[in-house]
Structure 1
Amino acid sequence: MSEPENTSNSNSTPLPLPPPPSEEASKLDMSSGEATVKMDALGPLVVNQDGSLSRIENWGQMTELEKTNTLRVLGKRNAARREALRAKEGEGEGKA
C-alpha cells in the first residue's frame, strides 16, 4: 500500500469549534439565599435504591401532563427511598 499524498490542507490550522447554540443559556442567581433551584431543562433528580442520583433521560420530550404526573409519583418515591436509606443508615450505626 502506498502512503497517502500530503494535501495542502494537512499543514493548515485546525478548524475552529462551532458556535454555541443560539438559545440563551440558563443562568442561576444564588445571591438571594434561596435553598432550592428548579432546573427545568435538566428534569428532576431520581433517588435510586442504592442512594445514587440520576435524571430522567427523556424529560425534554415529555408533555406537560407527563411531567406533572412524573413529578407527583417521583416526589413520593424519592421521599420513601430517602427514608429507607436513613433507616438503613441508622441500623448500621447501632450495630457498630
Structure 2
Amino acid sequence: MADPNAQSHEQQGKKDTPLGLPEPPAGGIQLDVSSGEGVALDHLGPMVVNKDGTISRITNWDTMADIEKKNTLRILQKRNKQRLDALKQASQDNPEDAKKP
C-alpha cells in the first residue's frame, strides 16, 4: 500500500514547480538586427508606464479593432505622460529614494 504522505509531498512538489513557456510557433519569427536598422515591434502594442515606473504591454493588442487601438493610444499617451511626470517629480523631491534599486 502506498504511503499517502509520500503522494502528498509529490503533489506539493508539482505545485511549486513553475510552468514552462509555450513552444514557439512552427517556423518562428526571425529578426535580422545585424544591419543596424531599427526593428518595429508594432504588433506588440504600445508601452504602458505603470505607477511604480515599470513598463508593460497590452496583452490583447493584436486582437483589438482599429478604433479600440486608436482610443487606447489616445488614453495611454495622456496617462503615460502623467505617470512619468509624477515619477520625475517624486525623484526630484526625494533624491535619495531615486538612488535605491
- The interval holding the TM-score normalised by the smaller chain is 0.5 to 0.7
Q: Which has the higher contact order (CA 8 A, sep 6+)?
A: 1
TM-score, normalised via structure 1 length: 0.62
**Comparing both structures, which one devotes a greater share of its residues to helix?**
2
Percent identity between matched residues is 43
2:31 maps to a residue whose letter is: K
**Cα 1:65/1:26, change in 2 over 3 Å:** farther
Deviations 1:47-71 (A, max 9, x none): 0001111111111110111111111
For 2:11, the equivalent position in structure 1 comes to: none
Map 1:15-94; keep pairs closer than 5 Å: 20-22=25-27, 25=29, 27=31, 29=33, 31-32=36-37, 38-93=40-95
Number of paired residues?
75
> How far apart, in 2, do the equivalents of 1:28 and 1:56 lie?
25
Query: 5+ residue gaps in structure 2?
Result: 2-22
Query: 5+ residue gaps in structure 1?
Result: 2-17
> How far apart, in 2, do the equivalents of 1:66 and 1:19 lie?
28
> How far apart, in 2, do the equivalents of 1:31 and 1:76 lie?
32
> How far apart, in 1, do the equivalents of 2:78 and 2:24 lie?
41
Runs of 4+ in 1 over 4 A off after TM superposition: none
Cα RMSD for the two superposed structures: 2.9
